[in-house]
Amino acid sequence: MLDVIWLIPAFPLAGFLTILLFGRRLGDPVAGFLAAGAVLGSFVVSVGAYFDLLSLDEHDREHIETLFSWVPVSSLQVDMAFLADPLSLTMCLFVTGIAFLIHLFAIGYMHGDPKFSKFFLYLNLFVLSMTLLILGENLLVTFLGWEGVGTCSYFLISFWHHKDSAATAGKKAFVTNRIGDWGFMLAMFIGFEAVGSVSYGALNGAAEGGALSQNTATAIAALLFVGAVGKSAQFPLYLWLPDAMEGPTPVSALIHAATMVTAGVFLMTRMNPMLAAAAPEVSTVIAYVGAFTALFAATIAVAQTDIKKVLAYSTVSQLGYMFLAVGSGAFVAAIFHMVTHAFFKALMFLGSGSVIHGMHHEQDMRKMGALRKFMPITAFTFLIGWLAIAGVPPFAGFWSKDEILLFALVKSPVLYVIGLITAVLTAFYMTRQIIMVFFGEAKWTSHANAEEAAEGDEAHASTAHGEFKPHESPGIMLVPLVVLAGLSAVGGIIQLPSFGFIPDNWQHKLESWLHPVVEAGEAHITESGAYDNKELLALLAIACALIGIGVAVAIYAKHLAKPVEPEILADGWKYDSTVSAFMGGPGRKAFDAVAWFDKTVVDGAVNGVGKLVSGGAGELRKTQTGNVRNYAGIVGVGVVALLVWFVIGRGVL
Amino acid sequence: MMLAAIVPTTTYYLILAAVLFGIGATGLLVRRNPLVMFMCVELMLNAVNLTFVAFATRFGNIDGQTAVFFVMVVAAAEVVVGLGIIISILRRRPGATADDLAELRG
């Protein structure tokens, strides 16, 4: 299957083109099944390629498939080539797998939407871009995918663009991501300048072989991190992600939780030799940005009332964990957490989608409650996701979070403490959400959302006015939930730590699989004191999770204390509004000044040259009188002048 | 007897050529009738031909005379085209002067 690795992006491309041409005729739900089938094809090819790669020797597990020469410009030679190695196939497996499940879910969720086929058009385009991003053999192919997923993200956030907020959120995501793309492009340019190639093999080879100066490597790594900060919604560029929840919920699950936002982590892992060759400060900055983002977003999530906003800030926070791992040199742990997070966060987003669907497009958690009686399967699967993200063993999130914390402790105790506090907060806000949505008393009434229903799915608007009763979602939406719940429960199995009670051949599977890719950058902590006491640390992490859960239960279920949800947390520390105010006020003036400079100085110079030429030509025109005798006279004068010059000036005669 | 004493030297021919060229050039600049201006151009051409022939005789070199043949052939061709143009212009606009024909001014 390795030779046909190009089929992975080709399937969604075919799906995209088919729906583009015949989407309207196929309609609801055929277009959805077609799109899902295309992604399933990609998944099957990924699985085949995975087994092919597995059968090879560890150090031969790298296959480059060149389709054609893409940019042949003298010394810049870029191929449209795909790289199949353990890292890209790990990504492919979970991206296409989860994308397939979310496509299935979306067939149910988007049922009755007037733009049903268009939605799947964008989803297929997204999967195409994402697989290009992952499989790209060089930075340019990855960049193509990088921009592609950004564009699809924009389309899908603004999918219901008749809502002002959705249209604005789409623009915000797009513009914010521009800042990150700037970093990505500069890194690419510097890499080409220094190495003469943008392929991963050449760049990482140069970094490993010491052919790059440390300053160059630092610049490339730091600028790539700027790109990653934008795409993966880290502080200070995270503010587009919570707004991105304006998109349909399957989009939030697929793009803004499971796959696209992890592209930054993937990029840093792919370039890990560059990070290893860069100044150590870069890694430290990454670790602290990640840790700060994790804590910062977790505090905001505590006070959100929108069911999707909680998950959005939670996603930002978990991405912070991944960057904490990357900064601590724990690339395997970062990928591990990326995979488990994709399982449980996709599960919870789809679960929230199921809730929103069942509640007729109500998203306010204060108007929910007791839903477990009405949607038992959604509730049950959501609970598994909750246990996974809260860090309760043996669910997936516990293992990956624990591994990151272990590396963080070796890097710096400060990072470890921030990570632990975040873990407590994570358990707290997720428990709060569970209780508000699925337990307690029903706070919805028969007319709770007559006005909200009108702005969402038209098909449900009519039912919302009559007797209101939440309902369980159809089977096609529940199957993905059940599968993802299973994965969230046992996902930790791919990378179990070396605890005494775990059989040897079950441990560190992902690490040995990814080893050829990350060996240059991966930190080695087996000698440290933290590693020797890792069982104790795990117990500490479990205790933190239980504290968070316990406090939330005490406050929201038992009502032992009044909930503390300060205004400032609900407003996200006023960061978003401050940025908006700044951009709208002084920022706006600065942009106006730049626009003025552009108009008068830059355009002025360009237009000035044009005016000079046309003005000069206008003057010169006047010499062409059209009068023959005039010309003859000028010729005569010229001849005389030449004669004088030859005779007197040159001394002829 | 006196007449026989005057043996024309090359200088005479050159002076004559210069005078002819001057007349032609002046005519070209001051006259407005296209036909007359055309004749002036011919006059200048033949003045140059005269210098060629004079120098060819003076240096006993046939190259100058060869050049004159070429000039005469080209001049004949030029007269055909030039006269054709002038006549067709005058047919369209009888009595037009060179100054009136300024359609190509910038």
Q: Is the model's pLDDT at A466 over the cut of 70?
A: no
Mean pLDDT of B38-51: 93
- Residue B1's pLDDT is 52
- Residue A613's pLDDT is 95
Q: Is the model's pLDDT at A454 over the cut of 60?
A: no
| Residue predicted with more confidence, A570 or A33 | A33
Q: Where are the beta strands (DSSP E) in chain B?
A: none
Contact A626 B37 (CB under 8 A): no
- Residue A562's pLDDT is 82
- Residue A535's pLDDT is 86
ipTM rounded to 2 decimals: 0.82
A75-133 per-position pLDDT tens digit = 888 999 999 999 999 999 999 999 999 999 999 998 888 889 999 999 999 999 999 99
Number of residues that this document lists for chain A: 653
Shortest distance, CA B39 to any CA of chain A (angstroms):
14
Contact A628 B105 (CB under 8 A): no
Q: Note whether B103 contacts A: Cβ–Cβ < 8 A.
A: yes
Q: Is the model's pLDDT at B37 over the cut of 60?
A: yes
Contact B106 A624 (CB under 8 A): yes
Minimum-distance CB partner of B105 among A625, A629, A636: A625
Q: Is the model's pLDDT at B87 over the cut of 70?
A: yes
A511-562 per-position pLDDT tens digit = 888 888 888 888 888 777 777 888 888 999 999 999 999 999 999 888 888 8
- Residue A362's pLDDT is 84
Q: Which amino acid is at A207?
A: A
* A72 DSSP β-pair partners: A77
Share of chain A above pLDDT 90, in %: 53
CB-CB contact of A324 with A296 (8 Å): no
Mean pLDDT of A5-29: 90
- Residue B3's pLDDT is 64
**Cβ burial, residue A585 (10 Å; 0-12/13-18/19+):** exposed
Q: Note whether B29 contacts A: Cβ–Cβ < 8 A.
A: yes
Q: Is the model's pLDDT at A452 over the cut of 60?
A: no
Choice among A347-356, A498-507, A630-639 with the minimum mean pLDDT = A498-507
Shortest distance, CA B105 to any CA of chain A (angstroms):
4
Shortest distance, CA A619 to any CA of chain B (angstroms):
10
A478-502 per-position pLDDT tens digit = 999 999 999 999 988 888 888 878 8
Q: Is the model's pLDDT at A465 over the cut of 80?
A: no
Choice among A358-362, A385-389, A484-488, B4-8 with the minimum mean pLDDT = B4-8
CB-CB contact of A242 with A311 (8 Å): no
Reading the block at residue A578, the tokens are 């401050």
Q: Is the model's pLDDT at A43 over the cut of 90?
A: yes
- φ and ψ at residue A83, rounded to 5 degrees: -115, 115
Q: Note whether B93 contacts A: Cβ–Cβ < 8 A.
A: no
Q: Note whether B98 contacts A: Cβ–Cβ < 8 A.
A: yes
Confidence of residue A297 (pLDDT cuts 50, 70, 90): very high
Closest CA to A228 of A191, A275, A190: A275
Q: Is the model's pLDDT at A567 over the cut of 90?
A: no
- Residue A326's pLDDT is 93
A332-354 per-position pLDDT tens digit = 999 999 999 999 999 999 999 99
Mean pLDDT of A192-204: 90
The dihedral sign for the CA sequence A498, A499, A500, A504: negative
Enumerate the residues of chain A whose CB falls inside 8 A of the CB of residue B24: none
Q: Note whether B28 contacts A: Cβ–Cβ < 8 A.
A: yes
- Residue A463's pLDDT is 45
Choice among A308-317, A321-330, A500-509 with the minimum mean pLDDT = A500-509
Enumerate the residues of chain A whose CB falls inside 8 A of the CB of residue B105: 624-627
CB-CB contact of A9 with A122 (8 Å): no
Q: Is the model's pLDDT at A319 over the cut of 60?
A: yes
pTM of this structure = 0.79
Enumerate the residues of chain B whose CB falls inside 8 A of the CB of residue A629: 28-30, 32, 37, 98-99
CB-CB contact of A436 with A382 (8 Å): no
Confidence of residue A462 (pLDDT cuts 50, 70, 90): very low
The gap between the terminal CA atoms of chain B, to the nearest Å, is 62
Average pLDDT value for chain A = 88
Q: Report how far apart, in Å, the C-alpha atoms of A167 and of each of A154, A252, A256 are.
A: 9, 15, 16
The strand pair at A76-84 and A63-73 is best described as antiparallel
Residues 6+ apart with CB under 8 A from A514: A86, A87, A90, A331, A332, A335
Contact B102 A625 (CB under 8 A): yes
**Cβ burial, residue A245 (10 Å; 0-12/13-18/19+):** buried
- Residue A467's pLDDT is 58
- φ and ψ at residue A73, rounded to 5 degrees: -125, 100
CB-CB contact of A261 with A180 (8 Å): no
Q: Is the model's pLDDT at A472 over the cut of 70?
A: yes
Most confidently predicted of A224-228, A507-511, A522-526, B1-5: A224-228
